[in-house]
Amino acid sequence: MELALFDLDNTLLSGDSDYEWAQFLVEEGVLDRDRYAMENRRFYDQYKAGNLDIFEFLDFQLAPLARYPRRQLDLWHDTFMQRKILPIIREKGRSLLDRHRASGSLCAIITATNAFVTEPIAREFGVEHLLATELEVIDGGFTGRPHGTPCFREGKVARVDQWLHAQGMSVQSFSASWFYSDSLNDLPLLEYVTRPVAVDPDDVLRRTARERGWDVISLE
């Protein structure tokens, strides 16, 4: 059996769900446009440059979740899916997932974006296993803080190991391990698997993939 791991943002999606969620809240009038749109862009630029402080970003990104009851957040998310996410799903990404599933691979989406935002997206792709940044919950509500290891850079490797260990497996249990990603931030996990694949990569990842002989594909 093979293991197939898929980054979400700018890989299976032709956009970033974290960024789009904040933009959606701005458009809905939930967040102040002047402050949050500027901060959202700043963090997104840091991510693309490979110098994002994940804990500073999570303080910013998770704070709105602590201000509203889960029922209201879920209602907003339903609209968010229709307006922001469904239009940016890559059909070639769906097909790639389907091919791996059809061959019997164990498939998972692994993303730095938090689980509240990404769980419905993973369901839309029909993927059972999601490794995402988890959120602290107290008395049924989000606290605005992460829980456990953020699923970012080296944290993705740690989360994969934890997930497989809980199932009595390791990455060595598989005849091949694939990871599809667009981002230089995912180099630790790309280096960890046996079949790294750069998907519509940023300039740093494209150069690294060419130097190391990794596959480079497009899902656009």
Q: Which residues are catalytic?
A: 7, 9
Strands (E), 36-77: none
CA angle 30, 22, 154 (to 5 degrees): 145
Q: What is the spatial distance between Cα 84 and Cα 123, in angstroms, rounded to a whole number?
A: 16
Furthest C-alpha separation in the chain:
50
Of 157, 152, 143, give the one whose Cα is nearest residue 53.
152
DSSP characters over 161-203: HHHHHHTT--GGGSSEEEEEE--GGGHHHHHHSSEEEEES--H
Q: Which residues pair with 14 in a beta bridge?
A: none
Phi, psi of 129 (to 5 degrees): -100, 120
Q: Evaluate whether 65 touches 135 at the Cβ level (below 8 Å).
A: yes
Of 146, 157, 111, give the one whose Cα is nearest residue 131.
111
